Chains A and B, each alone.
Chain A
Amino acid sequence: MTAGMNEKEMAQRAAAEIRDGSSVNLGIGMPTLVLDCIPPDRTVFFHTENGLLGMGGFAPQGSAHPDLVDAGKQPVTSIRGASFFPSDLSFAMLRGGHIDLAIMGAYQVSEKGDLANWTAPGMLPSVGGAMDIAAGVQRIIVLMSHTTKDGKPKIVRELSYPPTGFACVSLIITDLCVIEVTPAGLLLRELAAGVSAADVIKTTGAGLIVPEKP
């Protein structure tokens, strides 16, 4: 067994943060795995910014409709009690603080909870709804690999990537650990199986508060 969590386990850990009856926006990529991690006894209204509250899952082959897609433009289904609405209303939900939780990927998160996830230096930028979500959603969880592919820290003292929003991230879930952003700094809350606090400290570019038994 290799140390740390795989993507599925990370998604399951993120799903544990989702309360019954809450509204949740999932970012494109790894966060969409969270969809399949909700126990059947929990009702969650997944929000997709192109105009659906109550997204089901990806549409099975043969039942896709071209006018029913998620924010990643994939054909999806809707659940009982879902609603459809235009973009301006959808972003009123996000910016107005009506959506309880967003789970997003990131290039970098700073020790103050600043988020960089919309573009990298030198790239043609797309922004989509990332900045609206960062500015308006009550609680933001970042789901990302602990380091870049070449081993550089993604949790840093100050962002070097262009910021999406400031002091907006509450919780960071990586393959190595779970870190909470607190007013005192980054608090190491949980370690993945086979991972030590020393492993996390070594691969983190910001100060960490390490309790006796995280």
Chain B
Amino acid sequence: MIDKSYRSSLDAIRDVRDGAVIMFGGFGLAGIPQNLIRALYEKGTRDITVISNNPGSRLGDNEYGLAPLFQAGRVKKYIGSYPTATRSFKALHEAGKVELELVPQGTLAERIRAKGAGIGGFYVRTGAGTLLAQGKEARTIDGRQYILEMPLGADFAFVKAYRGDTFGNLVYRYTGANFNPAMAMAADITIAEVEELVEPGMIDPDAVQTPGIFVQRILKGERYDRWYE
């Protein structure tokens, strides 16, 4: 009987080494794998390449989500669409302490999806002729300019779903899905944390959003912070 469940976040990320390339689901603080992020912070992993829409999130004067990993100098490179989401990223980047690869949000999602779907690249109109087209092959299709974008994968994907079963089938909630389903497909090892971990059969097959084939490890998140009232 397949059982992909792990006892704890730390247990599930034990083999994540320094220098790992890791995708993190989430948009702002919605749908972020907050327990896996905390575990990675506690583990002390360094020289990480972070792939995520934003490098954490700022609410008032405090920064949450991935921000502590950046603040602690654990991140070598950030690939995402919204680096100005935190002040800490801006400061680190200005000090030359973290590399940035800026990717339009839709292109980011599609590059990740392409990797997971076995697509070797694709042409998009997004960004054609702009600063973000530099170094990319351009092509005219049906009279309009497109640029070539390449697939984007990772060693690990840390994703968050609302509910999951021990086979790895996942169900998301509200806008908590965002990048999680695409990222689950695109990494060598996908680790999913869920608020509710159930036995196989407890999730209606019609309701499954990420089939378990894309998920290698699953765990029930230890603690879910709420940032809004």
Contact = CB atoms under 8 A, between A and B. Distances in A.
Is this pair of chains taken from one and the same complex? yes
Interface stretch (A38-46, A66-74, A183-191, A205-213): A66-74
A166 to B, nearest CB: 6
Most buried by B among A52, A62, A73, A91: A73
Main secondary structure of the interface of A (DSSP, over half): loop
Most buried by B among A61, A62, A75, A132: A132
B164 interface: no
Nearest to B130: A163
Most buried by B among A75, A126, A129, A131: A131
A163 B110 CA distance: 22
B126 interface: yes
B127 interface: yes
Nearest to B59: A73
B125 interface: yes
B141 interface: no
B29 interface: yes
Given A66-B226, A73-B28, A95-B126, A87 B85 contact: no
A174 interface: no
Contacts of B225: 66
A66 B83 contact: no
B228 A75 contact: yes
A132 B175 contact: no
B175 A126 contact: no
Nearest to A64: B228
A159 to B, nearest CB: 11
Contacts of B178: 50-51, 86-87
B105 A135 contact: no
A134 B226 CA distance: 34
A51 B105 contact: no
A85 B85 CA distance: 23
A171 B5 CA distance: 54
A166 B129 contact: yes
Contacts of A64: 228-229
Interface string B195-229: 00000000000000100000000000000111111
